[in-house]
Structure 1
Amino acid sequence: MVPHLITALTGPINELEQRILDSMPAIERWFRLEWMEHTPPFYSSVDIRNAGFKLAPVDTNLYPGGWNNLTPEMLPLAVQAAMAAIEKICPEAKNLLVIPENHTRNTFYLSNVAQLKRIFHMAGLNVRIGSIDPEIKQPTTVDLPTGEQITLEPVIRSRRRLGLKDFDPCTILLNNDLSAGAPGILEDLHEQYLLPPLHAGWSVRRKSRHFQAYEEVSKRFGKLLGIDPWLINPLYAKCGEVNFAEGSGLDCLTSNVDALLTKVRRKYKEYGINEKPFVVVKADNGTYGMGIMTVRDVKDLEVLNRKTKNKMSIIKDGQPVSDVIIQEGVLTNERMNEAVAEPVVYMMDRYVVGGFYRIHAERGVDENLNAPGASFVPLAFAESSHLPQPGQKPGASAPNRFYMYGVIGRLAMLAASYELEATDPDAEIYD
């Protein structure tokens, strides 16, 4: 099913879509050459916002949950991509251990783990779920909303390897974003592939570093297409040492918000855009839509209430916030049944394998949709992501739109590969 979207499609996005479709052979060759030089993240998901005048990624997740929101029609693409990814890393792979997040009681999250298990089982691997949660001391079976069951088993660390009772995997897939830091049990593994690597976790990763890499990618891609990179790139700034609870470091935040709003106003004026600019302040690390606020006017920062300060002070696993990224806000002009919607693109290895619309009936066009109350509608990627239809008018064809989303998603994935190379602790050996 192609979602019926009431999309405010104004000129620039139509022109961008047309430019992308016309340049398809050049784009695919460009990506091909990039992947000869750079290794894509094992899997990723990218949140995209379509403002009608601008289309940009606003978040890139290297430990994506939500695989359960992909439809059965999308699974063959995911299975093929999983086969390609495993073949590159460990061609003789037989056993795969999946390590989920520690909050084991969230059955919707565990449905995502069950979907990952299904994908890799269909790719020809024996798959089991191993928990590093200290509360899991024996095999624990959980009933899922789908009617399925999933069994979590306590991981066992031998001197150099990680596994389960009577199960020795050559590959370990993390679906745990390590917000609280990398536990020692995952370090110094011998002849086992840990995917993604530990330095992809939020204890090391920074959104500002990712968007710095994305800025570089967007400039090079903009040059390829002959477009202003701003049309696909959210401007950003960052601040370190902000303490919302104590109110310290807010001068840095105020000056950076002011400067960024000024830059965005300038771009809006250049393009004749009548919308009110805004920025989004986020914790520079972390996920789950925590530690995020929308700022429409620098004066808003003078009157932060206690609730907002508390919300901004702590993210997942109780980690305190000290560094923030200030990101140009990108409106979402996509709708489903009058509710605000944004596309999320899922990738494995270098392939787009599916996606969905995140929808939130109670949020505005300039607000974060990754919040309680969100729902999900699948994108019709399965039959269309690599089969755009040149010759059709922009905006008329879902495959054309989804191809464009897939291009932006892959640009963010490429930025993530640059980012991981820059933070790889072993890379210094080769410098």
Structure 2
Amino acid sequence: MVPHLITALNGPINELEQRILESMPAIERWFRLEWMEHTPPFYSSVDIRNAGFKLAPVDTNLFPGGFNNLNPETLPLAVQAAMAAIEKICPEAKNLLLVPEAHTRNTFYLANIATLVRIFNQAGLNVRLGSLDPAITGPTQLALADGGSLTLEPLQRTRGRLGLKDFDPCTILLNDDLSAGIPAVLQNLHEQYLLPPLHAGWALRRKHQHFKAYEEVAKKFAKLMGMDPWLINPMFSHLDGLDFASGEGLDALQTQTDALLTKVRRKYKEYGINEKPFVIVKADTGSQGRCITTVRDAKDLETLGLKRGDQACRLPDGQPVNAVLIQEGVATYERVNEAVAEPVVYMMDRYVVGGFYRVHAERGVDENLNAPGSSYVPLAFAESTQLPRPGAKPGASAPNRFYMYGVIARLAMLAASYELEATDPDAEVYA
């Protein structure tokens, strides 16, 4: 299934697809050499936007929460990738402690946790769930929509180790993005593997650091391909010290927004793109899809709800947004049943394990689709990532387009690797 892509704009992307397919051996060797030097995140997901003239990642999640939306036929890929990841980290691993979001009882999120349990069970691990929720004081069953259930247990901390009653894991896998802060129970664990590391969580992570790393990766890849990195890289800037309630920093935000719009206009003119550019202003930390604003003119910031400091524009822990990422807007011209759609690619270790189209019938091509009302259509990655068809016409083959999406997603995953290395507080050289 290949969703409809507006054909009037797909020339440059067809050329990019053709170039990627022709360069597949060189691309795969390049990735292989990069992974010899860098460690991939344990798992990740990447939101991608296809504007027809530009294809770029707009968000990279290091605590992905939608494994239940993957095509069940791709789960063997995830199991194999999980095996590879665990073998590198703790080859003798027997027990895995999975820590989900503390207070979430959403049935879709619980289905994601159930899918992760299934993946790691089939990878040869005993999996149990430890809750950060202080209200969980004993084994607690949560019902799943399919009639099954999950059992949450209270975490037990013993010096440098974290576990459950009668359960001592080699590895702890977090599926909580730590946007509300780092719980004391997770700190100073020196005897176990904690994945992802604490500095991957939104308590410390910043989006502009990721896109700075991605910019570096995109330039390297573009040099390999002999292309303009802008075709796969969203330009950006960031700003700290904002107070939307009082208006402090708003002038600086307008200035930076106008400067970025000017840069995008130049690129549109260079490529003959007859559209009005836009930027996305969003919190520099994880906001779970909230506080994301489309801006086509810097003056619009004076009247948009972003500056009101209201509840809709606060971080998940209730704190007001005081730092933003100003990102070049990349429209999505993909359609599923006439509704706007964007591909989301899931990875574990360095492998693509599946993905889906996030679809929203009530959102426009220039808006955030990660919002209430979205739905998910699985991608058929099982065949497509392994068997692209170099002879097929660009834009017509599902395997070819999905392979291209997998390449872009892996570039973002590599950028996350660069980012985590640069921000590691325990590294010898802190950047």
TM over 0.5: yes
Unpaired runs of at least 5, structure 1? none
Q: Which residue of 1 aligns with 2:339?
A: 339
Structure 1 letter corresponding to 2:156: I
Q: Which residue of 1 aligns with 2:240?
A: 240
Q: Which residue of 2 aligns with 1:197?
A: 197
Distance across 2 between alignment mates of 1:160 and 1:222: 44
Contact preservation (8 Å) 1:243, 1:249: yes
Q: Which residue of 2 aligns with 1:270?
A: 270
Structure 2 letter corresponding to 1:369: L
1:149-170 CA deviation, whole Å, 9 max, x = no partner? Answer: 1111111111221111110001
Contact preservation (8 Å) 1:74, 1:354: yes
Contact preservation (8 Å) 2:179, 2:286: yes
Contact preservation (8 Å) 1:283, 1:312: no
Task: Tell me how large the CA RMSD over aligned residues is.
Answer: 1.4
1:34 counterpart = 2:40: no
- Please give the secondary structure, in 1, of the residue aligned with 2:93: coil
Structure 1 letter corresponding to 2:160: R
Distance across 1 between alignment mates of 2:20 and 2:182: 40
Contact preservation (8 Å) 1:244, 1:313: no
1:172 counterpart = 2:172: yes
Map 1:296-307 to 2 at 5 A: 296-305=296-305
Q: Which residue of 2 aligns with 1:389?
A: 389
Distance across 1 between alignment mates of 2:195 and 2:256: 36
Runs of 4+ in 1 over 6 A off after TM superposition: none
Distance across 2 between alignment mates of 1:430 and 1:238: 21
Q: Which residue of 1 aligns with 2:212?
A: 212
Structure 2 letter corresponding to 1:68: N
Alpha-carbon offset, residue 310 of structure 1: 1.8
Q: TM-score, normalised by structure 1?
A: 0.97
Q: Which residue of 2 aligns with 1:86?
A: 86
1:269-321 CA deviation, whole Å, 9 max, x = no partner? Answer: 00000111000001001141122111111120122348864256411121321
1:54-109 CA deviation, whole Å, 9 max, x = no partner? Answer: 00000000000011001210100000000000000000000000000012321211
Q: Which residue of 1 aligns with 2:365?
A: 365
Map 1:411-430 to 2 at 5 A: 411-428=411-428
Alpha-carbon offset, residue 148 of structure 1: 1.5
1:104 counterpart = 2:104: yes
Structure 1 letter corresponding to 2:352: V
Structure 2 letter corresponding to 1:279: V
Distance across 2 between alignment mates of 1:34 and 1:145: 41
Contact preservation (8 Å) 1:281, 1:324: yes
Contact preservation (8 Å) 1:46, 1:61: yes
Contact preservation (8 Å) 1:81, 1:353: yes
Alpha-carbon offset, residue 396 of structure 1: 1.1
Alpha-carbon offset, residue 184 of structure 1: 1.0
1:90-145 CA deviation, whole Å, 9 max, x = no partner? Answer: 00000000000012321211110110000000000000010011111111111111
Distance across 2 between alignment mates of 1:306 and 1:168: 46
1:310 counterpart = 2:301: no
Contact preservation (8 Å) 1:94, 1:126: yes
More divergent stretch after superposition (8-17 vs 413-422):
8-17
Q: Which residue of 2 aligns with 1:410?
A: 410
1:23 counterpart = 2:23: yes
Summarize the Cα distance change of 1:123–1:227 in structure 2 as closer, same or farther, 3 Å threshold. same
Structure 1 letter corresponding to 2:87: E
Structure 2 letter corresponding to 1:364: G
Q: Which residue of 2 aligns with 1:140?
A: 140
Contact preservation (8 Å) 1:43, 1:349: yes
Distance across 2 between alignment mates of 1:425 and 1:127: 29
Q: TM-score, normalised by structure 2?
A: 0.97
1:340-397 CA deviation, whole Å, 9 max, x = no partner? Answer: 0000000000000000000000000000000000000001101211210011110110
- Please give the secondary structure, in 1, of the residue aligned with 2:4: coil
1:400 counterpart = 2:396: no
Distance across 2 between alignment mates of 1:425 and 1:164: 28
Contact preservation (8 Å) 2:257, 2:279: yes
Distance across 2 between alignment mates of 1:304 and 1:312: 12
1:184 counterpart = 2:187: no
Summarize the Cα distance change of 1:71–1:407 in structure 2 as closer, same or farther, 3 Å threshold. same
Contact preservation (8 Å) 1:13, 1:54: yes
Q: Which residue of 2 aligns with 1:253?
A: 253
Q: Which residue of 2 aligns with 1:291?
A: 291
Structure 1 letter corresponding to 2:4: L
Distance across 2 between alignment mates of 1:429 and 1:403: 36
Q: Which residue of 2 aligns with 1:5?
A: 4
Distance across 1 between alignment mates of 2:111 and 2:29: 36
